[in-house]
Amino acid sequence: MANVAVVGAQWGDEGKGKIVDWLSERAEVVVRFQGGHNAGHTLVIGNQTYKLALLPSGVVRKGKLSVIGNGVVVDPWHLLDEIKRVEAQGVTVTPATLKIANHAVLILPLHRDLDGWREDVPGTIRIGTTRRGIGPAYEDKVGRRAIRVGDLGEPDTLVAKVNTLLAHHNALRQGLGRAPVDAGQLTAELLALAPKILPFAEDVWERLDGLRAAGKRILFEGAQATMLDIDHGTYPYVTSSNTVAAQAMIGSGLGNGSVGYVLGIAKAYTTRVGDGPFPTELTDEIGKGLGTRGNEFGTNTGRPRRCGWFDAVMVRQAVKLNGIDGIALTKLDVLDGVEEIKVCVGYELDGKRIERFPFTMCAQARLKPIYESFEGWSDSTRGARSFGALPATCIKYVRRVEELIGCPVSLVSTSPEREDTILMTDPFRD
C-alpha cells in the first residue's frame, strides 16, 4: 500500500486542492507538511466551494483525520477564523478530526508586520510575498527563538521565550523606525489563545507512526510548488520552506520511506503569482485569454496570476527533484479553442541551448524559450471523464508532454469539479 505525497511541479496554483480532495476519498489521513496560510486551496464539492489556506483539505471529508505537521507555520488567529468559516459551511472541526504538531511554529502579528515592512523598503529586491508573516516565522524557527504551539501550555517558560523573541524583533523594529512590541501584552494574547489551540495539539509524529504501522492510507498535502522551494526554486523569488516531496517526511515526523508514491501537479499551461523569472510568460491576448478562462486569481489574495505556455524543461526538473512517479495534468479544458499551442522544450542562454533552469538571477532573466508547436482542438474537453473522450489532437498533446517531461501522466483534470477527473494510474496502488 502506497502513501502518497502531492507536490506542485511548477510555481504553485496548479490545482492541488482538487486533486488532494479527489484522492482524500480513498485516504484515511491527510497531512499538511510545510508552508502556512499563504497557499490557498479551492475545493468544489457539489454546489459548495471551500477556500482553505491552512487547514488540510481532508477537513471537508467526514471520517478523515487531518494533521498540521511540524513543518507548517501556524497563524493561530487565522486558524481559528478558518475553522469558523468552514463550520459555517457545515464542516465539523474538532480535536478528534484535526491534530496540530506541538512543535509547529506560531506566526505572530510581529511577523506580519515585518513581512510587509521589508517588502516596501526602497532599493531592495521585492519578492512579492503575501505579507502574512510566513518568511519571518521560518527565520525565527531557524534562529531558535520561535514560539511553538506546545509552548502555549507552559506559561512559566513562555515569558522567557517571548523576551528572547522580542530581543531580536524589537531591535529590527527600532531600525525600521517602528514601535516596539510590549512583552506583557504579547504574552497575555498568547495565553488567551492557549485553551482554544491546545486541545488540537499533540506529538503528531507518534500518532502518524502508529497509523502507518496499522496500514492506514496517508496523503501528504504540499503547498506552493517545486520552483518556489527555498533551495531548488527561483531564489530569491521563492517561499521560505522546502516544498519538494522529501519535506513530507521531515515536516510530518515520519521516517524515510514513508512516502510510496509522489504525484506532481502541473497545469496544461503555466502560471505564476508575484515577481520572479517566467520564460514562457505571455503578455498578449493569448495570455489574457488563459487567465480569463482559467480564472487565474489567487485564492487568498485575489491577485491576478501571470500566464504562459507549458514549460516542459521546468516540469522535467521538478520530476527529478521530487522523484515524481506520475503527473496530474490539470486545467486541460482551458486550452480548448486555442488554434496553436506551444510548449517550451529548451532554453537559449547567451546563444547556447540548455536543458535546465539555471540558478542565478541574471541567467534566469536572460533565458529565451525554445518552443515546439502543436495543433489545438476546437472540441470541448470540459467534463471529460475518460481519456478516449478527449479530441485526438488533445491526446497527442498529452502524450508529447509525457515524453518531454520524462514522466507519465497519471491523472487528467478537465474542470474544477472533482468528478471530472480521468484516472490513468492509481497512486494508491496496493
Non-local (6+) Cβ contacts of 393 within 8 A are 374, 375, 376, 377
Please choose, from the candidates 379, 281, 284, 265, the residue with its C-alpha nearest in 3D space to the C-alpha of residue 326: 265
> 231 an active-site residue?
no
DSSP per-residue string spanning 272-297: E-SSS--TTB--SHHHHHHHHHTT-B
Contacts of 352 by beta carbon, 8 Å cutoff, 6+ apart: none
- What DSSP string runs through 344-392? EEEEEETTEEESS--SSHHHHHT-EEEEEEEE---S--TT--SGGGS-H
DSSP-based three-state secondary structure for 241? coil
Is 75 a known active-site residue? Answer: no
Q: Tell me the C-alpha to C-alpha distance, in Å, between residue 274 and each of 265, 293, 348, 392.
A: 20, 20, 24, 36
CB 404 within 8 A of CB 312: yes
Query: How far apart are the C-alpha atoms of 367 and 358, rounded to whole Å?
Result: 9
Contact 252, 205 (CB under 8 A): yes
- Of these residues, 37, 41, 78, 103, which one is catalytic? 41
| Catalytic residue list | 13, 41
